[in-house]
Amino acid sequence: MAVLARLRPAATAAAFTRARFARSASNAVIRAGARATPPPVASIVRPAPHFRSLRAPGAQPDRRNHHQSARFVPSRAMATSVASEVHPGANHADLPKNFEQGDVEERLYKMWEENGYFKPSDTAAGEPFTIAMPPPNVTGALHMGHAMFVTLQDIMARNARMRDRPTLWLPGTDHAGIATQLVVERSLEADGLTREGVGREEFERRTWEWKKEYGGRIGNQIRRLGASCDWSRERFTLDEGLSEAVLEAFVSLHERGLIYKGTYMVNWAPKLQTAVSDLEVEYSDEPGTLYYFKYPVEGGEGDAAYLPVATTRPETILGDTAVAVNPADDRFKSFIGKRCVVPFSNGRTIPIIGDDYVDIEFGTGALKITPGHDPNDYEIGQRVGLPTINIMNKDGSMNGNAGAYEGLDRAECRTKLWADMESEGIAIKSEPYQTRVPRSQRGGEVIEPLVSEQWFVKMETMAKPALEAVETGELTIVPSRFEKIYKGWLTDIRDWCIS
């Protein structure tokens, strides 16, 4: 084609340009995974039989390539002969000036899918190759993560087909329970209804209706990426056969002691009424308030009548089970061993303990401990044997342990309790403070750390071989800078809540 592309007559050059475009388009189809073989170059451009590798009679040497004896510029008569042999496609005259993917991609993909080009070949002689698509959420919309795994898996699948291996790339979608529940609840709210109001059976019916109407969106978007997966075998995680497989895996892991039911601190989403995993909690820096107050000391007088304490969540005072100070803090170490009286608790007292965890420089240097509603406090409570008091219902309202504040929303309780502390003269001051707020990745609501009975997966036995695989070189992380993050995450991992 290098020789043919340098024919000088304008009409002939244009003909060969169109011919080369046609060839490129055909090759592009093959590279995208079509099985049909494009016509050979000779059927697009058939050079005259008197073409030779050396300069033909009457042809002038190409001065730009005089050192390459195999290249030449044909004479006008030869060019005319070649032009007469050009056979463009049937719709060649309608070929647009610019390539418009919207006019081509969907049509080609539909043809590939309808003709079964992505199904495993019955005639392929190589070793079978199968790969399952990490199922995207049925509620999802295409993002960079989808584009990445589709690209990588498509490369592997197409490479296997080109090597004559019967290839199955199995697609599917995940039921995405939390995300699906959220969008259905929003549709109910638009109609003035609630999940509790319509009942379980009606809510489930509406959920399946939503899946039927909108569930194919992510699949169609993955098709637009050109994914060469076998859509005739597409699965959904709530399909009957797959549900049985999940049950079998759950029971098997439980019998092996890898799944257990226990009481532990979880990330609770009050609106969705469910626990969410650590990876589904996003922390954002938001303007808040730091509240300073006097924690009464039992039997204390004068300067020893109270400990100054600071908190961003006054409502959790009702669930305190200790006050901690740093043993190295000369201001407060004499208080260790004494007891504080929890405000508005009808006289309930809690111990003052010494713990190196307390940051002397933060707040006042004295820390209230609420094991039932703070993950760090929970760890301290487990370490030193403190009781855990839950003061909230699953919907985020205050329960019976909150005394006079029972029934209030947690935000309402904060406002009222602080006002009561001001009235009682135990409030010191409040000041603006930038705080880290945990929010649900799914619905955006503020997460409530809550001790609850849930199902967990033991992670230590899974994390250990995953770490060893990197250390021995069996697994290579690219780029290598992410190896530190990988190791840190698996080293500090906690048991995984799967409820």
Question: pLDDT, tens digit, for every residue of 363-409?
Answer: 899 999 999 999 999 999 999 999 999 999 999 999 999 999 999 99
Least confident piece of the model among 102-106, 115-119, 340-344: 102-106
Residue 1, classed as helix, strand or coil, is coil
Q: Per-residue pLDDT averaged across 134-151, rounded?
A: 89
What spatial distance separates the first Cα and last Cα of the chain, rounded to whole Å? Answer: 64
Least confident piece of the model among 86-90, 210-214, 466-470: 86-90
pTM over cut 0.85: no
Instruction: Please tell me which residue, 44 or 219, carries the higher pLDDT value.
Output: 219
Instruction: Please tell me which residue, 311 or 175, carries the higher pLDDT value.
Output: 311
Q: Residue 78's pLDDT is what? A: 44
| Tens digit of each residue's pLDDT (9 = 90 or more) over 177-204 | 887 888 888 889 999 998 889 999 999 9
Q: Residue 175's pLDDT is what? A: 86
Residue 36 has pLDDT above 60, yes or no: no
- The Cα angle at residue 466 between residues 460 and 471, in degrees rounded to 5: 120
Determine the Cα–Cα distance for residues 414 and 405; give it in Å rounded to an integer.
Answer: 10
pLDDT band at 92 (very low <50, low <70, confident <90, very high): low
Q: Residue 439's pLDDT is what? A: 95
Q: Per-residue pLDDT averaged across 22-45, rounded?
A: 38
Average pLDDT, the chain: 82
Q: Per-residue pLDDT averaged across 311-329, rounded?
A: 96
Q: Residue 368's pLDDT is what? A: 97
Q: Residue 378's pLDDT is what? A: 95
Q: Residue 88's pLDDT is what? A: 54
Q: Per-residue pLDDT averaged across 465-475, rounded?
A: 94
Instruction: Please tell me which residue, 11 or 298, carries the higher pLDDT value.
Output: 298
C-alpha closest to that of 410 among 318, 490, 296, 304: 318
Q: Per-residue pLDDT averaged across 453-475, rounded?
A: 92
Residue 62 has pLDDT above 90, yes or no: no
pLDDT band at 493 (very low <50, low <70, confident <90, very high): confident
pLDDT band at 125 (very low <50, low <70, confident <90, very high): very high
Q: Per-residue pLDDT averaged across 309-328, rounded?
A: 96
Most confident of the following: 35-39, 69-73, 76-80, 259-263: 259-263
Residue 329, classed as helix, strand or coil, is coil
Q: What percent of the chain has pLDDT over 70?
A: 81
Q: Per-residue pLDDT averaged across 281-303, rounded?
A: 94
| Tens digit of each residue's pLDDT (9 = 90 or more) over 105-123 | 999 999 999 999 999 999 9
Kindly write down the DSSP assignment for every residue of 391-407, as one continuous string.
-B-TTSBB-GGGGGGTT
431: amino acid identity, one letter: E
C-alpha closest to that of 377 among 389, 365, 362: 389
Q: Residue 161's pLDDT is what? A: 96
- The Cα angle at residue 151 between residues 150 and 156, in degrees rounded to 5: 95
Number of other residues whose CB lies within 10 A of the CB of residue 16: 21
| Tens digit of each residue's pLDDT (9 = 90 or more) over 150-169 | 999 999 999 999 999 999 99
Q: Residue 47's pLDDT is what? A: 36
- CA 381 vs. chain centroid, Å, equals 33
Most confident of the following: 52-56, 208-212, 370-374, 459-463: 370-374
Residue 218 has pLDDT above 60, yes or no: yes
φ/ψ of residue 216, rounded to 5: -90, 0
Peptide bond into 438 cis (omega under 30): no
Q: Residue 138's pLDDT is what? A: 85
pLDDT band at 352 (very low <50, low <70, confident <90, very high): very high
Q: Residue 7's pLDDT is what? A: 32
158, 271, 476, 478 from 150: Cα distances, Å: 12, 34, 21, 18
Instruction: Please tell me which residue, 267 or 102, carries the higher pLDDT value.
Output: 267
Number of other residues whose CB lies within 10 A of the CB of residue 337: 10
Q: Per-residue pLDDT averaged across 38-52, rounded?
A: 35
Q: Residue 345's pLDDT is what? A: 94
Q: Per-residue pLDDT averaged across 263-283, rounded?
A: 89
Determine the Cα–Cα distance for residues 391 and 372; give it in Å rounded to an integer.
Answer: 8
Q: Residue 89's pLDDT is what? A: 55
Instruction: Please tell me which residue, 335 or 60, carries the higher pLDDT value.
Output: 335
| Tens digit of each residue's pLDDT (9 = 90 or more) over 66-90 | 444 334 444 444 445 444 555 555 5
State both tokens at 87.
């056979």
If you count them, how many residues does the chain have?
A: 499
Instruction: Please tell me which residue, 308 or 3, carries the higher pLDDT value.
Output: 308
Least confident piece of the model among 24-28, 141-145, 275-279, 338-342: 24-28
